[in-house]
Chains A and B, each alone.
Chain A
């Protein structure tokens, strides 16, 4: 259903079966007569930082809990390095979870929390504690090992949860919005730390978030989900630059979504009509033929303004408003009898790209190919 858009593609991935860490095959999840997941299939590669991204309620947690073993799989299967696991209880799956609320055992010390998984796996107490101490060193919390979880800050608890889940060396680590409770600065720092930990340990991470920026920053590949369905699977660059449909384009980043009708398709290019006599050329898409009324996505940072029409695509417009947003300036434009456009100019670029006063007539320009046709 959903094409793999990354350079590797499906074939190389499927032929080397041992390289797939988690393979979800036609998994369906129903709660009574409510379908939370509608036939999801995806393969997560060994040693990959994989992100499930989607708005609240789209089924990310449900999918993660099915992989961890806390939810039954209504239909379909889940494979871990080729072994079918969907009928195993959680304690028989070499998969560990960092819970959203951390779920640190409140009656145990930090050290005992981290040692718990090792002990349950059969290590004796002193070995488990030694290993746990090393894990705490890795997340720089050694000095807190005798404390109880309630005596740590949110960010520290977060790192303990991470150490506890990593200590038994799981084959796959599941993280359900682990950073959502942290403030912005700490979140940014933890994003980097998580990424480093993933590289260092070589463990496959499956990360859940509804924050598209976080997903783009951290992931090797992203699965965008909505309403229990997979919308697109690909690298952050694919997802951002080549969104497959309306939902993905709208959900990831900011974009100009324009309703267009396709007038002509030739040489792999589609001529689209925007209304008010304005025309744009963009790359044709197989699913979109002549005469279709579809949407077009143009990222605001791919647009620039000038007094005279530039090379490539140019449209005549009038400036409505400039909004200063720190690193950027956002300009809202109106096309005569046509749609409005949002243009983003980086503050550092202001020497090269001009900002116009409201009310000025000018041209808004883009490279051919900057606009992308979407299937609905």
Chain B
């Protein structure tokens, strides 16, 4: 509020500002809201509302497609946890090098290299990854999905970790080394605990990104291997049923919870 008032140009003073804001919010959230509401529809129809029911949620777990979805969900969670773990480890090491490595040649180039995948169209990454696996003769399957996810999750994990690390003065590590801790001890006993909120938040982001990924997964997965997003897509191709809305709503809920946790953890202070 204060900043908005003190700014020379108050963007709210432009005519139509409110209308455009509302329009944007509507376009962004209307589909999600519709899907969420209709996932509780008692009818099999996608358009007629016939009362509240949990029937489609039950259908997800017990219906004819439940086996397929369970396998896919299990794959998704295994891949997401493994990929997020590896990506977070790599990102922590990268952040340590970037933030604590002093000034080295190609430092800004390195930063660009780490964060570039965030800006490359995902389809390009997908095609490139596929070609790469083909070129080295890697059989497509869970392993290829896992490797691809680890690779593209690194920048997502990197950003919160590096941001946290930048906020930690290096005098703590110096104090540790002054008190007879060697470099490794200074890292594990001082720097790591102080970075933990950033690491957790990076892990959660990587986890969500991996869990939600469709395009890259679809390219590098082998025949018969499905993750939740590809399974949903496969099911939708045969016609949209309300059980898809129920799954989507559950995924949405999970994402919201995880992103919220990530947000609060990254702001949390383990020093008080």
Contact = CB atoms under 8 A, between A and B. Distances in A.
B271 A117 contact: no
Q: Which 8 A-B pairs have the closest CB atoms?
A: A106-B271, A117-B179, A120-B180, A103-B175, A103-B171, A90-B177, A120-B181, A91-B177
A106 B194 contact: yes
Given A107-B193, A150-B271, A164 B179 contact: yes
B10 interface: no
A204 interface: no
Contacts of A69: 177-178
A168 interface: yes
Given A101-B171, A148-B271, A148-B272, A107 B194 contact: yes
Interface size of B as a range: 20 to 34
A116 B171 contact: no
Given A101-B171, A107-B194, A89 B271 contact: no
21 contacts: A69-B177, A70-B174, A89-B177, A89-B182, A90-B177, A91-B178, A91-B180, A96-B178, A96-B179, A99-B171, A103-B169, A103-B175, A105-B172, A107-B194, A116-B176, A116-B179, A120-B179, A121-B180, A149-B271, A165-B178, A168-B179
B190 A105 contact: yes
A101 B169 contact: yes
B180 A168 contact: yes
B21 interface: no
A90 B175 CA distance: 9
A120 B271 contact: no
Contacts of B180: 91, 117, 120-121, 168
A68 B180 CA distance: 11
**In terms of DSSP, what is the predominant structure of the interface of chain B?**
helix
Interface size of A as a range: 20 to 34
A103 B186 CA distance: 13
B174 A91 contact: no
Contacts of B169: 101, 103
Interface string A53-94: 000000000000000111000000000000000000111000
B181 A150 contact: no
User: Which one of A70, A95, A120 has the highest number of Cβ atoms from chain B below 10 Å of its Cβ?
Assistant: A120
Interface in A129-171: 148-151, 164-165, 168
Contacts of B179: 91, 96, 116-117, 120, 164-165, 168
Contacts of A116: 176, 179, 181, 189
A91 B182 contact: yes
A172 B174 CA distance: 17
A54 to B, nearest CB: 22
Nearest to A95: B178
A331 interface: no
Nearest to A89: B177
Given A121-B180, A148-B272, 5 more contacts: A70-B174, A99-B174, A116-B176, A148-B271, A168-B179
